[in-house]
Amino acid sequence: MIKAEILRKVLNLGALFLPILFYHLPYQTGRLVLAAIALVIVSADVLRLHFTAFKDIFVLAFGSFLRRHEFLSLTGATYLILSAVVCSILFPKILTIAACSFLLVGDSVAAMLGQSIGRVRIFGNKTLVGSLGFFGSCLVVVMLIPELRFEVGLAGAIAATLIEALPIPVDDNFSVPLVSAFVMFYLT
């Protein structure tokens, strides 16, 4: 199980191309590119859920990256790209980049640390070590984005960490970027 999770998190880190691409594109172009990528990902996910032939191909290609519940529902990738698009519409570019990066980096670090050395459980299935790793990696993201004021990024990192750790019924790939971007926006 840990090996599958590591592969999943490597793929998660690969999705950093989204905020990096968004950073380097003009704002409106970046929003259109995110929307186009979302259209492809959401369409593939919906087709997979409704057509057996498409599902078979999808599972063959990506089945090892899916969690059990994702075989019958939308994938984390779909929730992430939808959150990125919503953030790009509602919030300034730099906040969208930071919020999506918090999730991608933080979730990967939290899973690897939590599953390998995490012993103390918090909020049910999360670990203290994983949450601390999530928060620490979010702080690294804050320091790597010079346009982001530290105190604003710090508040976003705290919000992202709390939303990821709490047992909220909304997929954290959707909620973490939105909540952290909202908190940062409120402070700017």
pLDDT in tens, 168-188: 989 999 999 999 999 999 999
The reported pTM is 0.91
Q: How far is CA 173 from the centre of its chain?
A: 4
Number of domains in the chain: 1
Q: pLDDT tens digits, residue range 28-46?
A: 999 999 999 999 999 999 9
Range of the domain at 143: 2-187
Distance CA 41, CA 35 (A): 10
Distance CA 148, CA 76 (A): 27
Distance CA 178, CA 47 (A): 26
| DSSP conformation letters of 122-169 | ETTTEEHHHHHHHHHHHHHHHHH-TTS-HHHHHHHHHHHHHHHHS--S
3-state secondary structure of 121: strand
